[in-house]
Each structure stands twice: as C-alpha cells, then as structure tokens.
Amino acid sequence: MTDPELNEHNLARRSRGSAFALQGSSQRGSAVTGWGLALPDTVITNDDFAQRLDTSDQWITERTGIKERRWGGTTASLGAEAARRALESAGVTADQLDLVILSTATSDQTVPATSAVIAKDLGYACGTFDLDAACAGFGYSFVVAHSMLATGLERVLVIGCDTLSGITDQQDRSTAVLFADGAAAVVLEAVPGEPCLLGWDLGVDTSAIHLLWCDKGGYIRMEGKETFRKAVRATIDSAVSALEQAKLRADDIALFVPHQANKRIIDAAADRLGIGEDRRAIVLDRTGNTSSASIPLALVDAANAGRLHDGDYVLIAGFGAGMTWASAVIRWGRP
C-alpha cells in the first residue's frame, strides 16, 4: 500500500482505515489535565478458577500474563467513580464540562445510555453519549473528544468502563479467566499552545468479525488463537500508522500503552515496534482484560506511579471485536 496524500485537513484515507495528523500552529492547544481510575473490591485470583474449572495458575499466568482480576459494580457506578477522581485531579467541576463520552460495550441497560445515568450521579448537564468500538473504544473516544475541543469546546471528559464479568460464561475456562471489570477516565482541556493529539489511526477489519461475538443477553464467544494472530498484526500496523502521522519514531515514545488482553500479544507487538519492556505500561496482571477500561487503566496507573512527565510522547494502541483498532500519539502534560 502506498501512502496516500494528506488532504487539506491532514486526513489520510487508507485501504485499511483512516489516519490523521494534527500539526501546524493553527490547531487549538489541548492537554490531558486530570485522570482517575476505579476497580471493584472483589479480587478473583487464578487459584479461585483452579478450584472450580480445569485450569491452573501456571497455565493462566504463562498463556495470558494475568494473575488476578476484579469483579463487581455496574458500568454506571464504576464509571462515575473513575470520572469523579479524574475531575478532582484536573480541578474541574462537573458543571464546567462541555461533553462527556463513555466508551463501553457493556451499558447497564439498552436505554438510557449509561453516560446519562452517570450524569445523574455526577450532576453534569452537558452533551453526553456512549460510544462502542469494543476494546478499541477508548482510542476512538479520545480522538472524538479531541476533535470536539478543536471545534471550540473547553473541557471534555472521556470515561472507559466495562463490566465484562456479567457477559462471560463462567463455565468456559477459555474466556472466564480473561475478562473482568474496571473503569478509568481522563479530562481533556483546551489550553494555550499545541494540541496534545499528534496523530491517530482508526479502522476495522471485518474479516475478523466472527472471531469475537456476544449476542444480546448472551456470553462472549471467541476464537482465541485467530484473534491473537490478528490482534498482533492490527496493533503493530495501527501503531506504525499513528507514529507516521505524528512524524515520530518508536524510539521517541516514552510510554507504550497497549490494550491489556494478553501479555504475549503486548510483548509480540512491542518487540516488533522496538519498544523495550521499560517503556511498556502493564496492568493486565492485576486487572485482566477490562476492554474499554484497559488502556486508560494502564495510562492512569503509569501516571499515578510517576512514569509520565510533561512533554513525554505516549503511544496508545488497541484492538477489539470487529476487529476494530485505534492508535494515538499523545503529548503528555501541558504544552
């Protein structure tokens, strides 16, 4: 595939998706100014599964990298808790928000959108909606949030939250050990200076649509091996595309924040990208796969641990059912 010409908006349409670069002084300045996370109290260890399923701590650890995960809460309750912490850390009140996007594939009910239920709890009255791009949803939401800042909004809250324990067949050892519950959120604000989103890449590969599926009221069904293979390829291609849009190299990236589905997927993709272990954000061992929450959980965990500094370049890269993908290069801190 040859690199397509960028049009006047620096938007490139590719045969495998769409990608965008935000460069030039005409773009509005923006920054991630606050972040927070929320995990349920109940810890489920690998040994808990081994007591009732034909599995073991050794198998789960070696094949997935997961040691424990959290179960509990609703998408609204976890999402609200993470959002409240993100707002506190940004020093922003709910009534100052211009838009709230909740990335989730596990809304608590069909209507209303769970973001509206969170609005009732937090007290914001701005525009709000749920966005579902499966596990790639946080990347999609971040890009949408950022584009809304570019049109003139001042403050957008992005929440990634999923409660996958409720749609996982607990008798199916091949999925039960993987999926879990959690939430994390970031506040994006317009600030003087440069935009914080430097390049992005979104897309979908419908040849993988049958690999991961959940009917309404049913449980997740997954062809793990083929999902694994396609996930590594999608993560690498999408990350490379976002880096190209941002005119950066993998060496420039201070922290790689991949979707937390399987440690072997993360390692295969990061190795191919040339990003060493010291530059990878991992929470999978403690959280399992929390879908929309997984990238922001890893991001917030790294920020809370002091691993991010103003001016650092962060590469997020996710894939999900569909198979959707989303990557973005973000400049951390205020410009």
Instruction: Name the 3-class secondary structure at 309.
Output: coil
Residue with tokens 């965990």: 301
Contact letters for ligand ACO, residues 182-221 (x by CB under 6 A):
------------------------------x---------
Instruction: Name the 3-class secondary structure at 224.
Output: helix
Instruction: Name the 3-class secondary structure at 332.
Output: coil
Q: Segment 276-335, which members bind ligand ACO (CB under 6 A)?
A: 289, 291, 320-321
Which residue in 102, 134, 255, 315 binds ligand ACO (CB under 6 A)? 134
Nearer of residues 246 and 269 to ligand ACO, judged by Cβ: 269
Which residue in 33, 262, 292, 327 binds ligand ACO (CB under 6 A)? 262
Nearer of residues 82 and 232 to ligand ACO, judged by Cβ: 232
Contact letters for ligand ACO, residues 225-244 (x by CB under 6 A):
x-xx--x-------------
For ligand ACO, which residue has the nearest CB?
A: 224
Secondary structure of the chain: what % helix, strand, coil (to 5)? 40, 30, 35
Which residue in 19, 32, 38, 64 binds ligand ACO (CB under 6 A)? 64
CB 220 within 8 A of CB 183: no
- Which residues lie closer than 8 Å to 249 by C-beta, 6 or more apart? 243
Q: Residue 30's beta-bridge partner residues?
A: 190
7 catalytic? Reply is no
Which residue in 28, 84, 173, 233 binds ligand ACO (CB under 6 A)? 173
With 0-12 CB in 10 A as exposed, 13-18 as middle and 19+ as buried, what is 250? middle
- Which residues lie closer than 8 Å to 19 by C-beta, 6 or more apart? 11, 12, 199, 200, 201, 202, 241, 242, 244, 245
Residue positions counted in the chain? 335
161 catalytic? Reply is no
Task: Report, in Å, the least distance between residue 56 CB and ligand ACO.
Answer: 7
Catalytic residues: 135, 259, 289
Q: Please report, as ranges, the residues that interact with ligand ACO according to CB under 6 A.
A: 55, 59-60, 63-64, 134-135, 173-174, 177, 212, 222, 224-225, 227-228, 231, 261-262, 265, 289, 291, 320-321
